[in-house]
């Protein structure tokens, strides 16, 4: 505006409104006190002219752009130190997140981060020694801006490791062949490749060290070539430089640190250091001038196995190992001292709360001892339990109680003399005794009586078994013994899973039930029931029930298969004499039309008990063919076309008012309707009115199977009867025999040789038909004039014309 001296811009973002005054007609968003990227603002302007501010003009909507960022210059064109290195993008103050796009060839991956820092290892896929194109976009909420300029960033080569300098080229001084490799950053596993001539073994380790004896060709005084590969962030590195390492040429063994110089337990446990590939160990035991040897296939022996073993005595021990059939030199000698001739509760029991209900206790074995006394003290109660071995039960005292602490000391009978009692040890009996089914019953298939047994509870006077099956209410069975029989329970069933819990009556109080345990009752030896029986076609009637033996079914199929299923798969099944597996269909059984009987015989486990299931299957006929008779009598003539599958026509006298139809189906079980009304086989229908020159009669025959149908039609015209059926009687009473000849119907007969003539009496079925004999009309049921018999044979021609003249 030429006269304006000042411009005031009003910038609104929702309820936030700012104004900015400028001497020119423009401003920058960066000049505002605050603004957001990717945000729409409403802006209008007014001007000051001659000291007066004008009104604001029309508003306009202006959207600030998304900020652009890129990979920081520090990383652009550089190679990372490792894949865990942090890659940064130039920061954008208003950003709520960043999206890194990494491209290699045509493959693109993206990685979102809340800050401008990324690690390449966070991608789903990356490679060492590879250059990637990387660009970054700013995120604001769910919106993502435009990616900035791309930068090339390379990953380092996969780290390579090798045997550490300390071991490379060294002769080892330990029998196991311990070696160590350099540990690259981020390595999580190692392959040590050991070679000896053509033999190669790769040893997998999770740490950067291994033992050469893990090869199957380890030998002493042998030089091996070793190189190492590291598994770093999903990638195995190349093998590093190889190293020559020589195993210890002359291995030795001796007593280990847990035995050497120690005072031993009563049995004199001693252990040697391990020698890889050793098959035997020999312990040389010296006491004064007496030397003895003990050989073993393992590293430890009992010093008490020597002759003349003595307590409170010092022995010198040397050890050798047998390797590849040869005994090595003895290692350094080491002194051990046997302990005093006393015993006590073994450490696993001393000071502990016992976990079994009977209070099982064990003492250290004293070599040479023939009996043990356990002195048990609880308050003023003192009891001594004498055993032939170093174990007993607290419950053998007459003051045993649960959740009670006892002090126990032990003496042993050694050379017919009882030793002093050893150190006292406190043990506490189980706090809350529980019992449950013993391992003899728990999870087992029981015998036919369902015998079950509970773990015993000391001082218990009775046991209670709580038995549950499915959703049925639990039953309880009490017993004075630790066992009972499920078969004594009401509703006991074979081949059934029961859940059983047990409790014990201790000092007139029932303990809580222990852990539930499932048991399965045995299969019945006499169970010959089917559990299910199905047909491949049709439905059994009644619905199958194992107790019902006889069934019926109706089918239209020419064959069926039965599928019998038994609950006890050990029984035998035969269908019509053929063996069938439970749940499988029998072979195809052909069916005749009508009734067919199929038997299924089940033989129980005892091979004696049987049960026979019978299925009577009716195969329904598919025959629907039917013939028809009319009354008044009229001949049916087939026609090629019509409304039905089979079409006929007939004619009756012009004055006929009704007609009846008699169907006769080939199969007596087929049904027939005449004009929609069922008509019994071989029975005339109700009269059908003939109301016009022609009347159409429709019939439908349905086979027994209910599927096969044939439709028929008869067109009845009132053009006179078409019945041209004729009966003939001869005056000589001679019998007529049908033969062949020139007419439609031909007969022959014989008369006496002296007969000079013969007369013919025609008898038409329909009274209005006209009959001629040798061309002369002869009334119905009247003899013709005599016909001379002039030769050896005489032809008499007759012709009958029905009322319709056709």
Overall fold of domain 360-428: Immunoglobulin-like (2.60.40)
Interatomic CA distance for residues 367 and 166, integer angstroms: 48
DSSP 343: B
Q: Supply the CATH classification number for the domain 6-63.
A: 2.60.40
Does residue 535 surpass a pLDDT of 90?
yes
pLDDT tens digits, 741-791: 888 888 999 998 889 999 999 998 878 889 999 999 999 999 999 999 998
- Most confident region among 79-83, 497-501, 639-643 by mean pLDDT: 497-501
The answer to whether 86-154 and 178-246 have equal CATH topology is yes
Average pLDDT, the chain: 91
Interatomic CA distance for residues 712 and 643, integer angstroms: 8
Tell me which architecture the domain covering 530-619 has in CATH.
Sandwich (2.60)
Does residue 174 surpass a pLDDT of 80?
no
Interatomic CA distance for residues 500 and 523, integer angstroms: 19
Tell me which architecture the domain covering 178-246 has in CATH.
Sandwich (2.60)
- 542: preceding bond cis by omega (within 30 degrees): yes
Contacts of residue 733, Cβ cutoff 8 Å, sequence gap at least 6: none
Residue boundaries of the structural domains of the chain: 6-63, 86-154, 178-246, 269-337, 360-428, 451-520, 530-619, 626-717, 726-801
* Domain 269-337 bears CATH identifier 1.20.1540.10: no
pLDDT tens digits, 699-753: 999 998 888 999 999 999 988 878 888 889 998 888 888 889 888 888 999 998 8
Tokens 């993008």 belong to residue: 89
Q: Helix, strand, or coil here: 452?
A: strand
Summarize the confidence of residues 596-600 as an average pLDDT.
Answer: 96
Tell me which architecture the domain covering 86-154 has in CATH.
Sandwich (2.60)
Half-sphere exposure of 242 (CA within 13 A, CB side): 9
Overall fold of domain 451-520: Immunoglobulin-like (2.60.40)
Enter the pTM of the model.
Answer: 0.37
Contacts of residue 379, Cβ cutoff 8 Å, sequence gap at least 6: none
Summarize the confidence of residues 563-574 as an average pLDDT.
Answer: 89
| Beta bridge pairs of residue 157 | none
Contacts of residue 641, Cβ cutoff 8 Å, sequence gap at least 6: 647
The model's confidence at residue 199, banded by pLDDT at 50, 70 and 90, is: very high
Contacts of residue 274, Cβ cutoff 8 Å, sequence gap at least 6: 175, 176, 253, 299
């Amino acid at each position: 505006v030429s006269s304006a001296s000042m411009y005031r811009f009003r910038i609104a973002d929702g309820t936030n409104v700012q104004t900015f005054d400028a001497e020119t007609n423009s401003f920058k968003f960066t000049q505002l006190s605050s603004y957001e990227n990717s945000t729409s603002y409403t802006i209008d302007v007014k001007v000051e002219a001659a000291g007066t501010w004008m009104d604001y003009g029309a508003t306009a909507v202006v959207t600030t752009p998304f900020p652009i960022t890129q990979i920081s210059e520090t990383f652009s064109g550089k190679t990372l130190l490792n894949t865990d290195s942090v890659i940064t993008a130039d920061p954008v103050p208003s950003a709520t997140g960043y999206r890194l796009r990494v491209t290699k060839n045509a493959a693109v991956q993206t990685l979102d981060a809340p800050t401008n820092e990324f690690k390449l290892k966070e991608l789903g896929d990356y490679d060492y020694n590879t250059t990637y194109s990387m660009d970054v976009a700013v995120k604001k909420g769910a919106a993502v801006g435009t990616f900035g300029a791309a930068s090339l960033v390379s990953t380092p080569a996969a780290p390579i490791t090798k045997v550490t300098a300390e071991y490379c080229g060294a002769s080892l001084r330990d029998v196991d062949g311990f070696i160590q490799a350099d540990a690259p950053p981020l390595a999580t596993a190692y392959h040590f490749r050991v070679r000896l001539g053509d033999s190669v073994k790769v040893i997998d380790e999770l740490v950067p060290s291994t033992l050469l004896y893990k090869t199957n060709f380890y030998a002493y005084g042998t030089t091996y070539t070793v190189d190492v590969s590291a598994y770093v962030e999903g990638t195995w590195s190349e093998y590093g430089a190889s190293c020559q390492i020589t195993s210890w040429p002359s291995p030795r063994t001796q007593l280990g640190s847990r035995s050497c110089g120690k005072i031993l337990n009563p049995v004199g446990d001693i252990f040697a250091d391990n020698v890889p590939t050793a098959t035997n160990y020999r312990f040389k035991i010296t006491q004064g001038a007496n030397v003895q040897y003990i050989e073993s296939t393992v590293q430890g022996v009992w010093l008490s196995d020597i002759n003349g073993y003595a307590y409170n005595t010092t022995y010198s021990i040397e050890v050798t190992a047998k390797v590849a059939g040869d005994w090595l030199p003895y290692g350094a000698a080491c002194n051990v001292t046997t302990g005093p001739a006393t015993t006590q509760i073994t450490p696993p029991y001393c000071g502990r709360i016992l976990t079994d209900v009977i209070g099982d206790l064990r003492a250290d074995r004293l070599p040479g001892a023939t009996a043990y006394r356990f002195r048990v003290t609880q308050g003023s109660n003192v009891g001594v339990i004498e055993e032939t071995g170093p174990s007993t039960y607290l419950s053998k005292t007459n003051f045993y109680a649960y959740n009670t602490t006892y002090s126990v000391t032990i003496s042993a009978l050694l050379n017919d003399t009882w030793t002093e009692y050893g150190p006292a040890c406190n043990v506490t009996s189980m706090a809350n005794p529980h019992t449950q089914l013993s391992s003899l019953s728990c999870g087992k298939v029981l015998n036919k009586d369902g015998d079950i047994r509970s773990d015993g509870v000391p001082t218990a006077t009775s046991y209670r078994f709580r038995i549950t099956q499915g959703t049925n209410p639990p039953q309880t069975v009490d017993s004075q013994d630790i066992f009972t029989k499920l078969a004594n329970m009401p509703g006991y069933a074979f081949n059934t899973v029961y859940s059983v819990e047990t409790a014990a009556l201790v000092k007139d109080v029932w303990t809580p039930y222990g852990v539930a345990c499932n048991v399965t009752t045995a299969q019945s030896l006499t169970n010959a029931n089917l559990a299910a029986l199905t047909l491949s076609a049709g439905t059994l009637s009644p619905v199958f029930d194992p107790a019902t033996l006889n069934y019926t079914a109706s089918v239209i199929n020419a064959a069926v298969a039965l599928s019998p299923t038994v609950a006890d798969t050990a029984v035998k099944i035969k269908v019509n004499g053929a063996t069938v597996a439970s749940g499988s269909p029998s072979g195809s059984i052909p069916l005749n039309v009508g009734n067919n009987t199929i038997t299924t015989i089940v033989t129980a486990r005892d091979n004696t008990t049987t049960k026979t299931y019978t299925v009577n299957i009716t195969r329904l006929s598919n025959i629907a063919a039917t013939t028809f008779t009319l009354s008044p009598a009229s001949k049916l003539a087939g026609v090629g076309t019509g409304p039905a599958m089979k079409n006929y026509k007939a004619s009756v006298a012009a004055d006929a008012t009704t007609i009846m139809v008699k169907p006769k189906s080939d199969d007596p079980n087929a049904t027939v309707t005449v004009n929609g009304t069922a008509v019994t086989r071989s029975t005339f229908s109700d009269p059908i009115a003939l109301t016009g020159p022609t009347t159409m009669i429709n019939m439908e025959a349905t086979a027994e199977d209910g599927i096969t149908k044939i439709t028929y039609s008869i067109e009845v015209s009132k053009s006179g009867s078409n019945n041209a059926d004729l009966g003939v009687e001869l005056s000589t009473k001679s019998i007529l025999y049908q033969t062949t000849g020139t007419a439609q119907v031909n007969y022959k007969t014989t008369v006496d040789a002296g007969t000079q003539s013969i007369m013919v009496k025609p008898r038409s079925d329909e009274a209005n038909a006209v009959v001629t004999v040798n061309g002369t009309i002869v009334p119905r049921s009247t003899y013709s004039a005599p016909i001379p018999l002039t030769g050896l044979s005489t032809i008499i021609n007759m012709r009958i014309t029905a009322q319709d003249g056709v």
